[in-house]
């Protein structure tokens, strides 16, 4: 989370779609290292993408491949995203990237999903501090948040 959020006055945050790195590949399944710690913000991001989040479910992959997650983001195509809690309370996203099914819905390396997660998390934290938030979609696909005093 950028430090400007906690500063007095106003500021803006722009979230880039390409914020993740691939850390592990297994067959078609790929794990992406993220900084997801707030399941409520993740659910809000999924809702904005018209996706459902299930608890303690199996994510679908190629053929009969399945992966259990603490949460599963049910996608509209044949594959899903497993969301697994780590020892440090962060969450790992795991999916089968084969044939572009997942990328079309959540962006390359979860870019669109992570962008919306960051927007919802930053908005929630700002409002908790009594700040106003205005959101604007930029032409390049980034989202700009104007955060300031009410």
| CA–CA distance, 147 with 8 (Å, rounded to integer) | 10
Report the 10 Å Cβ neighbour count for 56. 9
The more confidently predicted of residues 137 and 7 is 137
pLDDT in tens, 27-64: 566 555 567 999 999 999 999 999 999 999 999 999 99
Report the 10 Å Cβ neighbour count for 5. 17
| CA–CA distance, 111 with 17 (Å, rounded to integer) | 4
pLDDT in tens, 87-136: 999 999 999 999 999 999 999 989 999 999 999 998 999 999 999 999 99
| CA–CA distance, 18 with 44 (Å, rounded to integer) | 20
Q: What does the mean pLDDT of the chain come to? A: 82
Retrieve residue 133's tokens. Answer: 């938030």
CB of 73 within 8 A of CB of 91?
no
pLDDT beyond 70 at 12 = no
| CA–CA distance, 85 with 132 (Å, rounded to integer) | 31
């Amino acid at each position: 989370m950028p430090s400007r959020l906690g500063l007095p006055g106003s500021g803006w945050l722009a979230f880039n779609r390409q914020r993740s790195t691939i850390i592990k590949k297994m067959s078609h399944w790929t794990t992406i290292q993220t900084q997801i710690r707030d399941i409520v913000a993740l659910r809000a991001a999924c809702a904005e993408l018209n996706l459902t989040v299930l608890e303690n479910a199996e994510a679908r992959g190629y053929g009969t491949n399945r992966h259990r997650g603490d949460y599963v983001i049910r996608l509209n195509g044949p594959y899903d995203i497993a969301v697994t809690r780590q020892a440090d309370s962060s969450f790992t996203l795991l999916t089968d990237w084969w044939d572009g099914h997942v990328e079309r819905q959540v962006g390359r390396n979860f870019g669109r999903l992570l962008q919306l997660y960051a927007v919802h998390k930053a908005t929630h934290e700002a409002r908790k501090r009594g700040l106003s938030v205005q959101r604007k979609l930029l032409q390049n696909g980034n989202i700009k948040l104007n955060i300031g005093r009410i």
